[in-house]
Amino acid sequence: MAAALPRNGDLADQLELLADLSEILGEQPFRVLAYRRAAARIRDTAASVAELALAGTARELPGIGKTIEAKIVEAVESGEMQALSRRRAQVPGEVASFMRLPGLGPKTAARIWRELGVTTLAGLREAAERQRLRALPGFGQKSEEKILRALAEGAAAGEPRRGLLGSGLPLLREVVEALRAHPAAVEVSEAGSVRRRKETFRDLDVIATAADPAALTAHFVALPWVLEVVAHGDSKATVITKQGLRLDLRVAAPESYGDLLQHFTGSKEHNVALREEAQRGGLSVSEYGVTVSETGEVRTFRDEESLYAFLGYAFIPPELRESAGELEAARTGTLPHLVELADLKGDMHCHSSWSADGRASIEEMARAAAARGYRFLCLTDHSHSLRDGRIEAQWEEIAAVNERVAPFRVLRGVEANITAKGDVDLADEVLEQLDWVVASLHTSFDRSPTERILAAIESPHVDCIGHLSGRRLSRRRGADVDVERIVARAAETRTALEINAQPERLDMRDVHARLAGEAGVLVPVDSDAHTTQALAYAELGIGQARRAWLTKDQVLNTRTWAQIAKMRG
């Protein structure tokens, strides 16, 4: 029997580890970036990338060239990419795991290994406990305490990887559409944490009703995305996809579809609170229906709206079902009218090929944004890519593009870096000529991040703070920032705080975005797109905004640029 091909997730894991080890070894940044981009592309691909590589067609995927394809073939044939094996031999023990801890980037991980001889997480814990880390420049008592706290929380442990919403949602939608197209299907819906637009998920859930449940589950297990069938019955089935994701289908009786969909959408905390409240009214709620305790009568519901109404609530959008006050609001009629993707009028943080990591021209980005129905685009290329007269040259190109794409408008913006000293890395005379300035932390996340962000907020030229914590969901914890202080000062200075919709960021967190909205801070939902396709990330950001209870009025870029400019004075 032929050996099973590696799943997409396994290939992506190898490339990400290769990137980590290469970074620790100080290799060229463009190569590290190529590995990371290829890993992200592989995770987002529904087809088996191993199969594509063996057929010589993986290189047709964006971000995967001939060299990466050859590495994938190596992984298929020998179990591991040769480049990864070589770097494993060079970087000992668990040094790569150090990078999952706060304040430990590749250079710091390399110094801990080379200068202190620490190669394991246990050794790192011991070095921190014995105060050896503070002997390294830039380290101090607080740095050691953060590392010990993170290790105690299991931050660097090899826990099972949770999928990113940006990877799971497209696949889940394809599966839902494939099931809806089957003749036996009646109702089909996504469920679980992805339906709630939670930033990460453990598995993917689909709830359906069907004229012939057995036929629908048989169709499900035979879908082209399926790598392995874990379980298969007449009314439910579980498969593993070629991306390495677990996918569950449950087929309900039509009369109880609403009960099952509500139950498997969750969250657990929401459902527990719902049941406890129902019990006080003499009702027992389960996935099978609502039982009237006094009579034993079981009521079932064909849709969630009817179920919530029977229990005394307005319909609660899935994104709000986290036991964070939504039940009381639904009972009293005070649920907010949440922002929707169609409300966006523009994107206020994106990049073009003027940034070193941008992949599209200004005009290509503008036309792609216009095709989405936007009316403006704030072009915010990285400040470090716009030195030595390049920013003035970029302004000339923006003016030329605006003539060709009118009435759509490209605004002159920048994503400036907040330095380790708390400065914004562009001169005031340049900043004052820009339409929109985003200031972001990109380095030194353990060096007074709160004070540096507050200093940036004080600049009269900074309009918005980008990706507040700087987190990367799959590989880097965010900076330890005092969100309450930042929100309070942002409200006083009328500085915006963005929701960055990149799948690995979704930063601010939902709870922080809710805090900002309640304080009166305007929150733009930005794609941080580096390609035309990535402008679509805005949908993920809107999901985060909805989880944060934000309305159209609280999201800044639901307005036209003229309205925004008028608000800013």
Q: List, run by run, the mean pLDDT of 10-residue segments along the chain (569 residues).
A: 74 90 89 87 83 92 90 94 93 84 79 91 90 83 82 60 88 97 97 97 96 97 92 95 91 96 96 95 95 95 98 98 96 98 98 94 98 98 95 98 98 96 93 98 89 96 97 82 96 98 96 97 98 97 98 98 91
Total residues belonging to the chain = 569
Phi, psi (degrees; rounded to nearest 5) at 464 = -155, 145
Q: Rounded to two decimals, what is the model's pTM?
A: 0.82
Structural fold of domain 258-332: Beta Polymerase; domain 3 (3.30.210)
Report the alpha-carbon distance of residue 237 to residue 221 in Å, rounded: 7
Report the alpha-carbon distance of residue 415 to residue 527 in Å, rounded: 13
Report the alpha-carbon distance of residue 503 to residue 474 in Å, rounded: 10
Structural fold of domain 95-152: DNA polymerase; domain 1 (1.10.150)
Question: Are 120 and 151 a contacting pair, CB within 8 Å?
Answer: no
Sequence letter at residue 63: G
Q: Within a 13 Å sphere around the CA of 44, how many CA atoms are in the beta-carbon half?
A: 18
Whole-number Cα distances in Å, 327 to 192, 225, 286, 300: 19, 38, 17, 20
CA Rg value for the chain? 25
Whole-number Cα distances in Å, 287 to 267, 298, 299, 321: 13, 12, 11, 16
Q: According to the model, what pLDDT value does residue 247 have? A: 95
Q: Which 3 state secondary structure label does DSSP give 514?
A: helix
Sign of CA dihedral 416, 417, 418, 419: negative
- According to DSSP, the residues that pair with 240 across neighbouring strands are 228, 246
Report the alpha-carbon distance of residue 295 to residue 334 in Å, rounded: 32
Q: Which CATH number is correct for 341-567, 3.20.20.140, 2.40.128.20, 3.40.718.10, 1.10.260.40?
A: 3.20.20.140
- CATH number of the structural domain 163-252: 3.30.460.10
Report the alpha-carbon distance of residue 463 to residue 57 in Å, rounded: 45
- According to DSSP, the residues that pair with 249 across neighbouring strands are 206, 237
Question: Are 104 and 98 a contacting pair, CB within 8 Å?
Answer: yes
CA 505 to chain centroid, in Å, comes to 5
Preceding peptide of 503 cis, ω within 30°: no
CATH 3.30.210.10 location in the chain: 258-332
Quick one: which of 513, 424, 506, 511 has its CA closest to 471? 506
CATH 1.10.150.110 location in the chain: 8-90
Helix (H) or strand (E) holding 120: none
**What tokens appear for 327 in the block?**
């039940």
Question: Are 289 and 298 a contacting pair, CB within 8 Å?
Answer: yes
CATH 1.10.150.20 location in the chain: 95-152
Report the alpha-carbon distance of residue 403 to residue 497 in Å, rounded: 31
- CATH number of the structural domain 8-90: 1.10.150.110
CATH 3.20.20.140 location in the chain: 341-567
Report the alpha-carbon distance of residue 324 to residue 332 in Å, rounded: 15
Q: According to the model, what pLDDT value does residue 159 have? A: 45
CATH 3.30.460.10 location in the chain: 163-252
**What tokens appear for 255 in the block?**
């009369």
Question: Are 19 and 82 a contacting pair, CB within 8 Å?
Answer: no
Q: According to the model, what pLDDT value does residue 3 have? A: 61
